[in-house]
Amino acid sequence: MDPLVHSFKTDISNIELPSQFNYPFYYQPHELAVLAAQQLQAYLEQQYQWFVANGTQEAGKMFGVLVVQDEKRNLGFLAGFSGKLGGETTQEHFVPPVYQLERVDQFFKQETDKLDAVTKQIAALENDPVNIQLIADYNAKAIAQTESLEREQERIKAIKRERRRLLKREKAVMETEAFKSFEARQRQLSLNNNFFLKEYEVYLEDKIATLKNQFESLQLELENLRSKRRKGSLWLQDWLFDEYNFLNARKETQNVKELFKNRIPDVPPAGTGDCAAPKMLQYAYAQNLKPITMAEFWYGPSPASKVRSHGNFYPACRSKCEPVLEFMLQGLDVEDNPLLENPAVDKELDIIFEDEHMLAVHKPAEFLSVAGKSITDSVQTRMKAKYPNATGPMIVHRLDMSTSGILLVAKTMEAYHHLQQQFLKRTVEKRYVAVLNGHLEKESGFIDLPLRVDLDNRPCQLVDFEFGKSARTRFEVIERNDHKTKVHFFPITGRTHQLRVHAAHVDGLNAPIVGDDLYGTTDSRLHLHAEQIIFEHPLSRKRITLNVPAPFDFTA
Q: Does residue 400 carry a catalytic annotation?
A: yes
Q: What is the DSSP string of 455-476?
A: TTSTT-EEE-TTTPBP-EEEEE
Closest by CA position to 246, among listed 238, 256, 237:
256
Run of H or E residues at 105: helix 101-127
Nearest to 402 by CA among 311, 518, 235: 518
Cα separation, 396 vs 28, whole angstroms? 34
**The amino acid at 4:** L
Helix (H) or strand (E) holding 422: helix 413-424
- Please tell me which residue in 274, 400, 454, 516 is annotated as part of the active site: 400
Separation CA 199–CA 156 (nearest Å): 13
Q: CA 517, CA 527: separation in Å to the nearest integer?
A: 11
Q: If we measure between CA atoms, which residue out of 74, 94, 73, 70 comes closest to residue 84?
A: 94
| Cα gap 21→36, rounded to integer Å | 16
Q: In this structure, how many other beta carbons lie within 10 angstroms of the beta carbon of residue 110?
A: 9
333 CB contacts (<8 Å, ≥6 apart)? Answer: 19, 20, 21
Calpha distance 519→499 (Å, rounded): 11
Amino acid occupying residue 314: Y
Residue 44: HSE in the Cβ half-sphere, 13 Å Cα cutoff: 29
Q: Between the CA of residue 493 and those of 369, 424, 471, what are the distances in Å? A: 18, 9, 6
The span from the CA of 85 to the CA of 60, in Å, is 10
Q: What one-character DSSP code corresponds to residue 554? A: -
Give the residue numbers annotated as catalytic, written as ranges. 400
